[in-house]
């Protein structure tokens, strides 16, 4: 096999895995407007061409929450899930994705309806495109932590076969990890895997607290880890995985000191992957995320394949299913490399 850099076309169409993609952040603007009209909810604008315009994380989250409120029925959840998985499979050869969603951002919608709809979308997408989707139920850290403990108990009782873990989302400038210790302990006791957004906006103490207090298996983003050699060493020793996102990190780091945090994280020896986060909001898709990462870091084909397989190894699937996914991907890469 060659050690030349993998061309863009290779990166775009190789089999892919992603671990950090928000269901509500995957709604195309035109779909969000159609859902809001049908369900009688409000958006900042009904113009799909300008709906996803914002200047900072706070502005983004305002729109994200409005789009979330437009999703109210099981059928809405099924459609959004199906469309997003199938689109990523067709345009970027996505084979596996863990999707976070925020139940408490859909006031009045029963958890059972949301889980039923998402599961239906997952099953239909796998049937039509062979792409596998799984769910992470995410807490909104800007809301009272009691909502998170109540939610995690309901999720544990629901025992959905597609829910693999829990996450902690939204503005890390409010809702520190300390508030969610109970919710994470309940998740752990229920056998749910654990991730959390941390260090997206430069707060290294938040990364340390998330690791120390929430006993997470993964961190979402985590760029601030680069500020601490000690925390980098600790992360490597624990086998902690960082599910990072190229486009959103570039957006949030704009004006900051670090121009390419993911490349620096990889260079530091961290186990880091690349995901699309909120693709239509940031005009990206998982193919573009891998292309940007691969071209910036300079992957050859072998390194690109290793990157995907390392990402598959960090999924929250039960061990036998994870091993089967890795084997399937290796076979798909063999076939892909022969074409
Ligand atoms: N929810 C959806 N996308 C997010 C992001 N990039 N950071 C925090 N919370 C989010
Ligand atoms: Zn995210």
Task: Write out pLDDT tens, residues 302-331.
Answer: 999 999 999 999 999 999 999 999 999 999
For 242, phi and psi rounded to 5 degrees?
-105, 115
How remote is the CA of residue 57 from the centroid of ligand 1, in Å?
8
Residue 106 covered by a domain? yes
pLDDT score recorded for residue 259: 59
Residue 317 covered by a domain? yes
Total number of domains in the chain: 1
Q: Is the pLDDT of residue 99 over 60?
A: yes
Which protein residue's CA is at the shortest distance from atom 1 of ligand 1? 170
Residue range 144-160: mean pLDDT, rounded: 97
Which DSSP helix (H) or strand (E) runs through 65? Answer: helix 57-69
Q: Is the pLDDT of residue 85 over 90?
A: yes
Residue range 77-99: mean pLDDT, rounded: 98
Q: Kindly state if the Cβ of 170 falls inside 6 Å of ligand 1.
A: yes
Domain that holds residue 50: 8-337
d(Cα 221, Cα 225) in Å, to the nearest integer?
9
pLDDT score recorded for residue 256: 44
Q: Kindly state if the Cβ of 22 falls inside 6 Å of ligand 1.
A: yes
Q: CA torsion 320→216→26→128, rounded to 10°?
A: 10
DSSP reduced 3-state for 91: helix
Which DSSP helix (H) or strand (E) runs through 38? Answer: helix 29-39
Q: Kindly state if the Cβ of 220 falls inside 6 Å of ligand 1.
A: no
Residue range 28-41: mean pLDDT, rounded: 98
Pick the closest to residue 9 from 291, 285, 273 (CA basis). Answer: 291
Residue 68 covered by a domain? yes
Residue range 291-305: mean pLDDT, rounded: 95
Q: Kindly state if the Cβ of 25 falls inside 6 Å of ligand 1.
A: yes
Residue 1 covered by a domain? no
The predicted model scores a pTM of 0.97
Greater model confidence, 179 or 201: 179
d(Cα 180, Cα 47) in Å, to the nearest integer?
37
Mean pLDDT score across all residues of the chain: 95
d(Cα 6, Cα 3) in Å, to the nearest integer?
8
pLDDT score recorded for residue 310: 98
Task: Write out pLDDT tens, residues 217-272.
Answer: 999 999 999 999 999 999 999 999 999 999 888 876 554 434 569 999 999 999 99
CA distances to 16, 125, 265 from 96, in Å: 7, 11, 23
Pocket test for ligand 1, best of 200, 210, 276, 289 (most atoms within 8 A of CB): 200
276: CATH: 3.20.20.140
pLDDT score recorded for residue 219: 98
Pocket test for ligand 1, best of 24, 27, 60 (most atoms within 8 A of CB): 60
Greater model confidence, 175 or 260: 175
Confidence class for position 279, pLDDT limits 50, 70, 90: very high
Task: Write out pLDDT tens, residues 56-70.
Answer: 999 999 999 999 999
DSSP reduced 3-state for 28: coil
Neighbours of ion ligand 2 (CB under 5 A): 277
Residue 3 covered by a domain? no
Residue 223 covered by a domain? yes
120 CA to centre of own chain:
20
pLDDT score recorded for residue 250: 81
Residue 288 covered by a domain? yes
| Residue-wise DSSP of 131-186 | -EEEEEEEEETTS-HHHHHHHHHHHHHH--TTEEEEEEES-TTSS-GGGGHHHHHH
d(Cα 105, Cα 218) in Å, to the nearest integer?
23
Residue 2 covered by a domain? no
pLDDT score recorded for residue 255: 46
């Amino acid at each position: 096999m060659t050690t030349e850099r993998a061309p863009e076309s290779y990166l775009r169409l190789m089999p892919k895995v992603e671990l950090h993609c928000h269901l509500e952040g995957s709604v195309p603007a035109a779909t969000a407007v159609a859902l809001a009209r049908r369900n009688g909810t409000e958006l900042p604008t009904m113009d799909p061409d300008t709906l996803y315009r914002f200047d900072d994380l706070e502005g983004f989250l305002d729109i994200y929450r409005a789009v979330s409120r437009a999703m109210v029925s099981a059928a809405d959840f099924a459609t959004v899930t199906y469309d997003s998985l199938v689109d990523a499979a067709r345009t970027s050869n996505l084979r596996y994705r863990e999707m976070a969603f925020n139940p408490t951002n859909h006031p009045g919608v029963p958890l059972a309806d949301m889980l039923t709809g998402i599961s239906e979308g997952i099953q239909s997408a796998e049937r039509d495109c062979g792409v596998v989707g799984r769910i992470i139920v995410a807490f909104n850290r800007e809301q009272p932590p009691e909502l998170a403990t109540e939610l995690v108990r309901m999720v544990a009782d629901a025992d959905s076969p597609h829910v693999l873990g829990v996450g902690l989302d939204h503005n890390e400038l409010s809702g520190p990890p300390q508030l969610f210790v109970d919710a994470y302990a309940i998740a752990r006791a229920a056998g749910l895997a654990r991730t959390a957004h941390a260090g997206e906006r430069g707060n290294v103490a938040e990364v340390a607290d998330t690791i120390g207090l929430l006993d997470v298996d993964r961190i979402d983003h985590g760029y601030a880890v680069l500020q601490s050699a000690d925390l980098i060493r600790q992360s490597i020793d624990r086998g902690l995985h960082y599910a990072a996102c190229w486009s959103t990190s570039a957006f949030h780091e704009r004006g900051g000191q670090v121009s390419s945090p993911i490349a620096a994280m990889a260079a530091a020896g961290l186990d880091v992957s690349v995901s699309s986060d909120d693709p239509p909001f940031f005009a990206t898709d998982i193919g573009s995320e891998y292309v940007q990462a691969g071209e910036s870091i300079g992957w050859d084909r072998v390194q690109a394949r290793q990157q995907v397989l390392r990402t598959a190894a960090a999924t929250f699937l039960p061990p036998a299913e994870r091993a089967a996914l890795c084997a399937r991907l290796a076979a798909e890469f063999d076939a892909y490399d022969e074409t």
